[in-house]
A and B are shown apart, each in its own frame.
Chain A
Amino acid sequence: KNQVEQSPQSLIILEGKNCTLQCNYTVSPFSNLRWYKQDTGRGPVSLTIMTFSENTKSNGRYTATLDADTKQSSLHITASQLSDSASYICVVSVIQGAQKLVFGQGTRLTINP
């Protein structure tokens, strides 16, 4: 069964601090792994996309890593800002005719001043 599991479920940190979110997946056939940011009541917005051959990818203060052997990924946020408060969702893509995404349940990140 295709699954994506994330930890922690929720996280609270102070503004300016760094944090790392974790993702484990069992998805086949694997196409790529994405991290999305979802503000409350809004649709998800893509942060990074990585294929199995990519180990790391950055987007500003967001850096994603991928270990395709252990099927683990992480999202590191540097120098957090209040606007980083959101749910961060790990998503694995498969291609079966159309592109299909398998979503994790997300990590709810709260940045406190």
Chain B
Amino acid sequence: SQTIHQWPATLVQPVGSPLSLECTVEGTSNPNLYWYRQAAGRGLQLLFYSVGIGQISSEVPQNLSASRPQDRQFILSSKKLLLSDSGFYLCAWTRGTPSSYNEQFFGPGTRLTVL
């Protein structure tokens, strides 16, 4: 069976500090991977998605970047955090072949607070 992991679960960082959130998927190969952010009381916003190693598409301009160094590893980074980067960050995956019915599975999330 497939599982998706995210860490850390919670993080409190000062403004201007760097960020690295990690997501890994087990039990599948060549997944499409996604990073979302959910601000308090808001819907999920797609930040990045990746269809393969080293292939990153950005959905919104921002202070963040993403990388996919391995097939089942997706990393969200920032060089200098802003207060507005606070939120709940979710990683998700789907099977690599696009299909209308592909389920998108979400990780447990990382709660980031920037002070």
Contact = CB atoms under 8 A, between A and B. Distances in A.
Contacts of A104: 43
Interface residues of A, number: 23
B106 A45 contact: yes
Interface string B94-114: 100011111110111101000
A98 B94 CA distance: 9
B74 interface: no
A98 B90 CA distance: 17
Q: State the majority secondary structure of interface residues on A.
A: strand
Contacts of B107: 43
Contacts of B32: 98-99
Contacts, number: 58
Interface stretch (A64-72, A78-86, A89-97): A89-97
Given A41-B109, A98-B32, A89 B101 contact: no
A13 B50 CA distance: 41
B108 A43 contact: yes
Given A97-B51, A98-B51, A31 B44 contact: no
Contact of B100 (A41, A51, A100): A51
B98 A98 contact: yes
A49 B57 CA distance: 25
Contacts of B45: 103
Interface of B: 32, 41-46, 49, 51, 57, 88, 90, 92, 94, 98-104, 106-109, 111
13 contacts: A4-B43, A41-B88, A43-B92, A49-B101, A49-B103, A95-B100, A99-B32, A99-B94, A99-B98, A99-B102, A100-B49, A101-B44, A106-B43
